[in-house]
Amino acid sequence: MIFEAILACTLTARALGLDEDLGSVAPAKLADPIVVEGEPAADIAVLGRTKIVHRAGACFSPDELRESVVGTIE
């Protein structure tokens, strides 16, 4: 299932003409990786146990991100 998700992202980026910057993990490509506790390929629920979020070169706490949107998401 993880392979299919990665393939879907790659093909979508290509179809939108964005594959120069997005759609795969490679040097100089844009990415917002996360660190989770566990193995998402074995248990997708570990995505709910995110430890670190990287966005635009900065590192964020998942708890702080969640708190920052309280009341703004229905």
pLDDT tens-digit readout, 17-68 = 998 988 887 888 888 888 888 888 788 898 888 999 988 778 999 888 888 8
pLDDT score of 60: 92
**pLDDT confidence of 15, banded at 50, 70, 90?**
very high
Domain boundaries, the chain: 1-25, 32-74
Q: Both tokens of residue 48?
A: 């709910």
DSSP 47: G
pLDDT score of 17: 93
- Cβ–Cβ < 8 Å for 53, 62: yes
Closest CA to 6 of 20, 17, 18, 22: 22
Q: Both tokens of residue 5?
A: 């998700």
